[in-house]
Amino acid sequence: MRPLRLMTFNVQLLPVIAGVSEGTVSVPAGIAGLLPGGSADSIARAEAVAADLLKIKPKERPDVLALNEVFSEDARDLLIAELKAKWPHVIESVHEGDLEEDAGLMVFSQLPFLTLPGGGDRRERFYADDAGADTWASKAAVLVQVGRPAEVTTLVFTHLQASYDTEEQYRDVRKNQLAEIRDLVAEVLGSSPNNWQNVIVAGDLNIRGDLDATSNEWFDIFDTAGDPFGDLFADSWIEMRPPGVTEDLDPGLTNRNRETQAEQRLDYICRFKTIDGIDLVAHHMRVGHRDTSDHYALEALIQMRDDHCQPTSAVDIDALGPSAGGSGVGQPQTSLATFVQPDIAVEGGRSWAWLRRPGTYTFHHSPSLVVEVYAADDISRPLTRLDSLSVTDVPPAVEGIYREFERQVGDEGSTYVNRSPLLVSMRTKSGDPGGGVLIVLEHLGDTKATAIALPAHLDVPVPFPENQRLGDDDIAWFRLKTLETLMGKSRQESVTVEQPIGSGSIEALDAASSTLGSDSGSGTLTHDFAAGADDELFITVRRDSDADTGQAIRWSTPVSYLRLDKGFTVHVTDESGPDWPGEDEPVFEMWMDGDKLLTTDWDDADTGEDWPGIAEKIFFEVVQRGGGPSKSVGFTETLDFVIEDPDDLGAAHGVTSWTIAGLSPNEPPERKRTVAVTVFDTISDGTYTVSCTLSRDP
């Protein structure tokens, strides 16, 4: 049976009263919003949410989509009108029927809901315990059953009590609500959990699950014996960790505090822990859809457990050891090749492999397999391959393994480089159960074909073995590829080699092996060059004695990447002028490397809101300039912004450009940048916050 694609997404479509109290809706807008069809802000956000969900490729759309915080009735009506054609089975609301708001839960499904034991297609549980501002809503959980991936799969969706002042606040309420979820499942599946199977719980649990949490609430629920919920349900995100890793390499952040721009993990997909180990698990999870809410969507591919079907149970390539290459007594050190033979027993399932060492790898695989490579610290976005490598070009030391599988793997392999460890996902192209072969070639720079690719601003060890040759001629090969920035500005780059002992030489070559420059001697060796678009350079390193080791090579470049796939936010921290009776009508201008990229305006900016669709507007302009399809946009100097609210009275006011600088050489490879922008006004200035993510890698 096919796997279940499941999404939980807190879309923050608040009712007007809550919006006014939080400052996201002005008082006049709030009064207008009390009229039928008058909640313009919620309708606009619902339109953005629906458009974002409908952009998902049909084959990747979730089978079941659970939304939190759909409190606005006008927004609810719009979502039904836009989404029901693709997800025809709908739970429109969960409501206790008194004067409270409903629970804000909606469920859209491509699969029909099954009839539950005792009748009906859903079961609701309204929590006995809530507190603070949450008391105005009918806090609840809703249970349904669908026929995928098991014949009867039980799904529970909820949104737990929020914290407002501290992370610890109301944790006892959340604990009680989780216990009530257990009671809800018992109503349908029976009182004894020994008889339960195929149960998934998903939603915004408001429990911080990231490393920056100051509370131990996650450990109290999921890592302490005796908890009524945690004894039965596992947090699926921690199963996206590689084998033996005890902390999240990918933090799985799903929420952004609009005021501070700090991120945290609050949204969960939890699986039932069966006694016999025959259970449903997430073969893959990812975080996405970052631009329409203060939460991001959390998705999971749910299927029956299988061998190596999750990152946490991935095949450890190091544990297998090399099948070809390496070195023997009196022999040179060479690149290494290892093979994996995935055997996928479930439809649409995954098989994973784990590469502990960062570096450059080429993957050749059976044509029947689809292979995706992920950085272990970002399992939501597959890496883009650097290059391809034909089996006819692999070094002689590893040719034997390719001959062994020559009729089982394709002729062309894909080469990847990353500064962190890698996870490799394998599935069959048809989606049917099946197997194949994956050959993993680790580049150790012993030939030009196995040159080690250089990530920017990373000290990469030169793999010279002591008193032993590297390859046939003791030359270490490296490569780098410069990429065109959006504005095409010229720039200087360099490659340096540090030699702690001894002496040697470097030579820079183009793709045709023509010499571009060289340096020799002891200490630091350098090659400076003017970078162009999509230039490929090869660097060879030689040493004067095979006793000289410990060299490190580094590529320095001024290029940074604006990661639009990780969101771009302009937040109204404090609108200019009085917060009511009106709203700002700001104009936003953006420059990249000194060239104007975007001018756009907004006619309804209120304190507490985010500029709608700003990331997509930027990306549209990027595409118009010849960029894309990647949402990583290269630049060399700065991003500059001007935000102003044109003064209807024509009074003079200042305009200032605000800057976000590219990454400095010794900064981490990915950083979030935030700048507060003053919007000048004749009565009182406003403040907008611009937030984005910069990366060294595209």
Say which CATH number the domain at 358 has.
Answer: 2.60.120
CB proximity list for 99: less than 8 A, separation 6 or greater: none
Answer yes or no: is pLDDT of 41 > 90.
no
Across the range 291-308, mean pLDDT stands at 97
What pLDDT was estimated at residue 577? 78
If asked whether residues 228 and 364 sit together in one domain, one would say no
HEC readout, 245-289: CCCCCCCCCCEECCCCCCEECCEEEEEECCCCCCCEEEEEEEEEC
448, part of any domain: no
At residue 15, the 3 state secondary structure works out as: coil
Looking at the structure, do residues 611 and 552 belong to the same domain, yes or no?
Answer: no
Instruction: Flag the least confident range among 369-383, 422-436, 558-572, 644-658.
Output: 644-658
User: How far apart, in whole angstroms, are the C-alpha atoms of residue 229 and residue 626?
Assistant: 52
Question: In the structure, what pLDDT confidence band is assigned to residue 72 with cuts at 50, 70 and 90?
Answer: very high
Bridge pairing between strands 153-159 and 199-204 = parallel
Q: Could you report the per-residue pLDDT of 117-138, keeping only the tens digit for each?
A: 999 999 999 999 999 999 988 9
Strand locations in 400-465, DSSP E? Answer: 412-418, 422-428, 434-435, 438-442, 452-453, 460-461
**382 within a domain of the structure (yes/no):** yes
How many whole angstroms from its chain centre is CA 208? 18
Q: What pLDDT is recorded for position 329?
A: 66
156-165 residue pLDDT tens: 999 999 999 9
449, part of any domain = no
pLDDT of residue 578: 74
DSSP secondary structure of 587-628: EEEEEETTEEEEEEE-S-B-TTPBPTTHHHHHHHHHHHTT--
CA 161 from chain centre, in angstroms, equals 26
| Res 101: pLDDT | 84
Pairwise CA distance, residues 692 & 513, whole Å: 40
Domain end marker among 412, 443, 474: 443
What confidence score (pLDDT) does residue 179 get? 97
Secondary structure element (H or E) that encloses residue 302, with its range: strand 297-304
Quick one: pLDDT at residue 604? Answer: 85
- Are 114 and 53 in a shared domain? yes
CB 268 within 8 A of CB 229: no
Residue 36 has pLDDT above 80, yes or no: no
Do 201 and 289 lie in one domain? The reply is: yes
In a domain, 358, yes or no: yes
Q: Indicate if 301 and 320 belong to the same structural domain.
A: no
% of residues, the chain, pLDDT over 90: 84
CATH number at residue 680: 2.60.40
Same-domain check for residues 199 and 274 = yes
pLDDT at 683: 81
Give the amino acid at 375. Answer: A
Task: Based on the fold, state whether residues 15 and 53 are members of the same structural domain.
Answer: yes
Q: Does one domain contain both 67 and 202?
A: yes
Residue ending a domain, choose from 249, 279, 305: 305
Looking at per-residue pLDDT, the higher value among 39 and 630 belongs to: 630
Average pLDDT over residues 551-557: 98
Confidence of residue 277 (pLDDT cuts 50, 70, 90): confident
Say if residue 470's pLDDT is above 70.
yes
pLDDT-derived band of residue 37, with 50, 70 and 90 as boundaries? very low
Domain boundary, last residue among 490, 525, 556 = 556
Tell me the mean pLDDT in the region 240-247: 96
- Number of domains composing the chain: 4
Domain that includes residue 511, residue range: 455-556
Work out the number of other CB atoms within 10 angstroms of the CB of residue 565: 19
Taking residues 206-223, what's their average pLDDT? 97
Do 118 and 160 have their domain in common? yes
The CATH number of the domain where 549 resides is what? 2.60.120.380
pLDDT digits (tens, 9 = 90+) for 333-376: 999 999 999 999 999 999 999 999 999 999 999 999 999 999 99
**Residue 95, pLDDT score:** 86
* Encoded amino acid at 596, one letter: K
pLDDT tens digits for 512-521?
Answer: 999 999 999 9
Domain membership flag for residue 260: yes
| Chain position carrying tokens 């004695």 | 545
Whether 105 is in a domain gets the answer: yes
Residues 334 and 291 in one domain: no
Task: Looking at the structure, tell me whether residues 501 and 417 fall in a common domain.
Answer: no
In which band, very low, low, confident or very high, does the pLDDT at 581 lie, cut at 50, 70 and 90?
Answer: low
| pLDDT top residue among 259 and 61 | 61
- Greater confidence (324 vs 278) lies with 324
- Give me the CATH number covering residue 55: 3.60.10.10
Instruction: Give 190-208 as a DSSP string.
Output: -S-GGG--SEEEEEE----
Same domain, yes or no: 498 and 632: no
Whether 450 is covered by a domain: the verdict is no
| Residue 124 counted as domain residue | yes
> How high is the pLDDT of residue 17?
52
